[in-house]
Amino acid sequence: MLDVAIIGAGPTGLSCAIEAMRSSLQCLVFDKGSICDSIRRFPVNMTFFSTPEQLELGGVPFTTPNVRPTRQEALQYYRIVAQRLGIPLQLYTRVDRVSKKDDAFVIETERGTWHARTVIIATGYFDHTNRLGIEGEELPHVRHYYTEPFEYSGMRVLVVGGKNSAVETALDLWRHGASVELVHRRPTLGESVKYWLKPDIENRIRNGEIRAHFSTVVRRIVPGAVLLERTTDGITWWHECDFVLLQIGYRPDAAFLRRCGVEVDQRTLIPRYDPATFETNVPGLYVAGSVMCGCETWNIFIENGRAHARPIVASIRQRLGASEHSAGVQQAWGA
């Protein structure tokens, strides 16, 4: 019987494990992939917006010669943290469902069943991309994730989106020999685009090196072309391309949360939780990190998600302490 089962081995899940271990709670961290699997699947040349100290966990220094760390540096750092602090991990183990039975939780996985007194869900949102909901979205040349540019060198690539992911993808592709065009449904690029990327992409667009279609949406995708519509006047046209990269954001796995008994807002996909303790409507089941933000994925990042560990573990300690006291009273009355 675990004191705490933590689902998700990203920075937030690791932070929760560190706090639990410091409170002498027996914990185990589950993940369907590797340590920080979402970061591992980020674009290989990605640079974090945050500085190293904003990404640190457990008091382990994040050292780098760069002002902002790279994806590779972050992966190495979090691996070292997990190894040095001895965080117990159950990797490559998908959790299918969490259900409550009596005063404990049953964690059902593809590799067997575990039991825990409390559960923290810290699964983030990177595994579930937003969808356009149009014909052709699942064709082989349509990609929802971008990793590296060399696959697309010399090819015509249409990038859909106007925030950081889309801008970084378009610039990386252009610098590695792809012919790039950008489609965004809004009249301008997103305000949250990193300040060092915005002048770069604007210069590329101004010089005609990357062509941008603003106030434009994709209506249909077929092999070798997409049907575009300009929303200001309704004009449509077919645009030829070899690949379509949809960089339109992500959302948490609301279906998994509901399978665990957590109430989820139908519109925002934000789970129901206590803002002070992060405990959901299921007593003893908590949410941490960006899984909490639903569709509003710009609100929670590694920097503030890691801070959820302390109030969550404090609440768990109080809950388990009260449970032990109750059990002791019952035992005394029984005697």
Number of domains composing the chain: 2
Contacts of 307 (CB under 8 A, 6+ apart): none
44 with 88, same domain: the answer is yes
34 with 60, same domain: the answer is yes
Separation CA 168–CA 175 (nearest Å): 11
- Is residue 230, in this structure, part of any structural domain at all? yes
pLDDT in tens, 115-171: 999 999 999 888 888 899 999 999 999 999 999 999 999 999 999 999 989 999 999
pTM here is: 0.87
Final residue of a domain: which of 246, 270, 299? 246
Final residue of a domain: which of 196, 231, 246? 246
CB atoms within 10 A of CB 181: 18
Q: Mark 261-292 as b/e (b = at least 16 C-beta within 10 Å).
A: ebebeeeebbbebeeebbbbebebbbbbbbbb
Q: Kindly tell me if the per-residue pLDDT of 34 is higher than 70.
A: yes
Q: Which of 162, 143, 116, 169 is nearest to 319 (CA)?
A: 116
**Residues of the domain holding 170:** 142-246
What CATH number is attached to the domain comprising 13?
3.50.50.60
Contacts of 103 (CB under 8 A, 6+ apart): 117, 323
122 with 6, same domain: the answer is yes
Question: What's residue 143's pLDDT?
Answer: 95
CB atoms within 10 A of CB 118: 27
Q: Kindly tell me if the per-residue pLDDT of 173 is higher than 70.
A: yes
Separation CA 288–CA 291 (nearest Å): 7
Q: Which tokens in the block code for residue 11?
A: 């920075």
242 with 261, same domain: the answer is no
Separation CA 22–CA 194 (nearest Å): 36
Higher per-residue pLDDT: 290 or 281: 281
233 with 261, same domain: the answer is no
Question: What's residue 322's pLDDT?
Answer: 61
Final residue of a domain: which of 231, 246, 261? 246
DSSP assignment letter at 260: T
Type of residue numbered 285: L
Type of residue numbered 254: A
Q: How far is CA 26 from CA 4, 226, 262, 318, 325, in A?
A: 6, 53, 24, 15, 18
CB 107 within 8 Å of CB 95 = yes
330 with 268, same domain: the answer is yes
Torsion, Cα 36 108 261 20, to 10 degrees, reads -50
- Is residue 329, in this structure, part of any structural domain at all? yes
